Amino acid sequence: MSKKKVAILYGGKSAEYDVSIQTAFSIINAIDKEKYEIMPIHISHEGQWIEGTAIKDKLEHKSQLLLSEKTGNEMAAGKWLTPAAVNPVQSKPDIIFPLLHGPNGEDGTVQGLMELLGIAYVGSGVLGSASGMDKVIMKDLFKAHQLNQPKYLSVTKYEWEHRQSDIFEKIKAAIGCPCFIKPANLGSSIGISQCLEEKAIIKAVNEAFCFDDKVIIEEKIIGREIEIGVLGNDALAASVPGEIKTGGEFYDYQSKYQDGNSTLLISAYLTEEIRTEVEQTAFKAFKILNCKGLARADFFIRDSDRKVIINEINTMPGFTPYSMFPLLWEHSGLSYADLIDRLINLGIERHEERQNIRYRIE
């Protein structure tokens, strides 16, 4: 039986570039190389696509993935649109595993390219990825479906530049402090500020606008932080729940990837009633956003009334062996390597199902 060709797409024009490299290193080393042929494709900070040779052995260091013109072949992003006779560099992969976090990768842009290429890929499609990336759109959709979530407001850079005083007063009246201010289209807690006092709001909004042209302001929920993994396309499965205990003021980029001050408790203790509500809300949110393959759903259990409050869905969660999503599934009986295998199969299954869609009228 021939090996399936899996293109691992990583890097990208995003503030989450380093997270993507770290994730790719972990997945490439864990994937079953007896079953899959690994094709690395590095997207540089500048947006240059570099294709490397097939990886047959374990990597020793993530720097081996920083391909350049000297260590790989520059390729056009849409090279597989051309016939093999015209562009015979390599045959198409059977599936692409996009390990891109943030804008220009997790937001539907690359997913749209893969749809045009007609190649199977892991994870959500254009709509699911785009709505999962933009926190404002996501929360607007949750609101339309009456999911419990924190109070929020959004502001564009144009609005802030032209009506800063009015918007500042609106934030104070509608949200107040403490609150969180975030770029609307970024993950890994990059660019997030916690404002304990109103005087900190303007600086925090300006900081968030360094990373995006749209910002979201959310009330701070006092309570437990719970996360759960979702797997599947239509028939969904939930992992055991996990809980985040932070050593700092909140679970920011430094807590996630640098200082080790956060603790992940798996499995988190929840009553049967609350666990069922968390699972069912995660499934509902997954379907509302039209997610596919995988997602991590983040919740609060509010201290004052024990209400389950959804915070967000992440369509391409952190995926190192020490990230919450794979750890949740490991504690649910699915190893890291088996989880990767399952996601590849889900991507292929979805692609095959979509081949039955008619694109012409007989």
Q: Which residues are annotated as a binding site for ATP?
A: 135, 180-182, 188-189, 218-225, 311-312
Per-residue CA distances from 106 to 9, 95, 96, 317 (Å): 11, 17, 13, 10
Residue with tokens 């797997």: 231
Residue 49, CB half-sphere, CA atoms under 13 Å: how many?
15
Told to judge if 16 belongs to the known catalytic residues of this protein, a careful annotator would answer yes
> Nearest to residue 52, comparing CAs of 33, 71, 37, 70?
71
323 is catalytic: yes
The two structure tokens encoding residue 37: 């042929």
Given a contact cutoff of 8 angstroms between Cβ atoms, the answer to whether 208 and 191 are in contact is yes
262 is catalytic: no
d(CA 99, CA 9): 6
Region for residue 287 given its phi and psi (left: phi exceeds 0; alpha: psi -120 to 50; beta: otherwise): alpha
Provide the annotated binding site for Mg(2+): 298, 312, 314
Q: Please tell me which residue in 124, 131, 323, 332 is annotated as part of the active site.
A: 323
- Catalytic residue, from 20, 188, 239, 255: name it: 188
Per the annotation, where are the binding residues?
135, 180-182, 188-189, 218-225, 298, 311-312, 314
**39: helix, strand or coil:** strand
Instruction: Single out the catalytic residue among 14, 16, 262, 279.
Output: 16
Output the CA angle 170-173-176, nearest 5 degrees: 105
Tell me which residues are annotated as active site. Answer: 16, 188, 323
